Amino acid sequence: MDPIAVGFGLVVLATLLGSVAVVRRLYRPERPWGEAARARLVWGVPWGSIVVLVGVCCVYLFVQDGVTDFADPVTIPYRAWSYFAPLGMLTASFSHAGPSHLLGNLAGAAIVAPIAEYAWGHYPEDDERDSRLADPRVRALVVFPLVVVAVGLATSLFALGPVIGFSGIVFAFAGFAIVHYPIATLIGTVGLQGALLTVLRALQSPISVHVAEASPPGPPSWATIAIQGHGLGFFIGIVLGVVVLERRNRRPNPLHLWLAVLLFGFGKSLWAIYWFGGENTFVLLRGPGVVVVAILAVVVTVAVTGSATPLLPSRLRRDEPDRTATDRAVELARQSADRTGARLERVAAIAGGVASTERRHHRRAAFLAVLLVTASLAGVAVPTNLLVIDGETTADAAVEIEGYTVSYEEGAQNQLVSPVAVGPLEEAVSMESSGVIVSNDRHQVWLDAVTSQQLAFSGEETVYVGGPGWREGVTVERTGWEPVGNETVYQVWIEGGGEDRQLAHESNESTADARIDGRNVTVATEDGEFLLEVAEPDEDESTTVPVPDENESATADGLAFERENGAIYAVSNGTEVPVAAEETYD
């Protein structure tokens, strides 16, 4: 390891610790942080969160085989494909697509999981002490992790699409925490999480050099967000949080809660509602998404804190008595009960119950709305997860490994996305995918693992299929020639599963813009060989010759071709004209 990098890492760590020490000297809370933590957590430590985070790391290392290749774990079988693929459903919420995905979710969970665990507490409330699960150690090491597993299974079973990742549970932590400690959760998720990731990356790589370079084409960042899974996890956490608040008869500050939910929704892209258009097209419903977040912030606030104050003034509530008048009537009834006996006392109690019910009804209606939103988010995934895919391929070549089929196709019908043609989505008449396709009929797997644009950028990609205890890679390689001023002619080869290298795809021919001695030069591919065709314009007959090797030459119809430094030149009467260049990759 570079000693300079280690030194700078130590400086970063020492600076942060020094900052904490200085602030600790300046800020003396009435109740020390350690004492506050020990009041609700065993030894002041969020043991349940630690167990969960360690479990997620173990899944990445030993289930996804990240211990063999940390940068490239097995992911395909561990996605939430279908109800007919139980392995993916059981593991999707605890698996990850790669190191950065894992680190991001661990950082998020490290912030909000302890807040949620603190809100729930290892030491039960008075009405919970009779439970067999009241032992603080059991609550910390057993109950909390089991609840997390249950929430993870829910977010997998009702996920829309083949999702993978712990983020649904992270959002559930946030939803539970935000109804108990709105401002602390907001600061943690919007500010502290980013700071933690920055510090971790600074410790890992204190100084790095970046060079401006081209990037492979890909979808917009918001189109990679599992928005439905995030929303479902968030509302599951809110529902569980409200249940705990109800049992303990507590309420957060309404302004704090509304502000926290609103800013959390914006900051965590819960507004990013999108759908698919044609090939490589995505439709973002930003305006409707912002409206949805704003409405949900109000609904959640009313559902949690609505009993404090009625939503409408008394003059606008036709079916309710005036609140002040009701309260006076209750008080008079109670005073009268002191003088006239138990009968009027019961009347006062009934009147008080009526008033309390009237104050609560809008909170219950809002909580019902929260439940309906949660059910809707879960329900939309059920039909998708019941679909059965057709894994047959029309590719020229494919690799078969333990039920998986890996092939290269262009313009293949995406079997995971149904076309929608309504309003702004009226152009979404189909969803086609081009690239490396992985399918498995038995496990309902269908994935465009590497897009054709990505392969054109990199030139070679390896896709891993596997399962518990095994993995095997399939390598896909693209080679091509670019005629001057026209589209690339390319071949795609595939190799894996113990089989020889196979030709998977050949593109159409393409003619160079340059004309030599009144003739056109066309680059073509046939049976895995690149060819140069020479022909008169508008003539069907042509003369064909294979593309020569490096520093070699070939002749077709009296026109000489020379290959030098990855380019092909046509030579005639002492004139040398470039006609094609070998495709290069990053």
pLDDT score for 363: 74
pLDDT score for 421: 46
What is the maximum span of the chain, computed from C-alpha positions, in angstroms?
125
The 10s digit of each residue's pLDDT in 211-259 is 776 677 777 777 778 889 999 999 999 999 999 998 888 889 999 999 9
The 10s digit of each residue's pLDDT in 191-212 is 888 888 888 888 777 777 777 7
The answer on pLDDT for 387 being more than 70 is yes
Q: Average pLDDT, whole number, for the chain?
A: 83
Give the residue among 401, 369, 500, 392 at the shortest CA–CA distance from 446. Answer: 392
> Which of 283-297, 424-438, 567-581 shows the lowest mean pLDDT across its residues?
424-438
Q: DSSP assignment of 268-293, as one string? A: TTTT--EEE-STT-EEE-HHHHHHHH
Phi, psi of 569 (to 5 degrees): -115, 140
Which residue ranges make up each domain of the chain? 1-30, 396-504, 508-582
Res. 353 pLDDT band, cuts 50 70 90: very low
The 10s digit of each residue's pLDDT in 274-289 is 877 655 677 888 898 8
* CA pair distance 15, 133, nearest whole angstrom: 43
pLDDT score for 476: 95
Cα–Cα distance list, 249 to 243, 252, 304, 472, 533 (Å): 10, 11, 11, 55, 83
* CA pair distance 140, 52, nearest whole angstrom: 11
Percent of the chain whose predicted confidence (pLDDT) is above 90: 42
Average pLDDT over residues 485-498: 92
* CA pair distance 298, 361, nearest whole angstrom: 16
Give the residue among 227, 211, 221 at the shortest CA–CA distance from 171. Answer: 227
Average pLDDT over residues 576-581: 90
Res. 389 pLDDT band, cuts 50 70 90: confident
The answer on pLDDT for 418 being more than 80 is no
The answer on pLDDT for 356 being more than 50 is no
pLDDT score for 185: 94
The answer on pLDDT for 7 being more than 70 is yes
More confident residue, 430 or 157: 157
The 10s digit of each residue's pLDDT in 38-84 is 888 999 999 999 999 999 999 999 999 999 999 999 999 999 998 98
pTM of the model: 0.82
> Which of 12-26, 461-475, 484-498 shows the lowest mean pLDDT across its residues?
12-26
pLDDT score for 369: 87
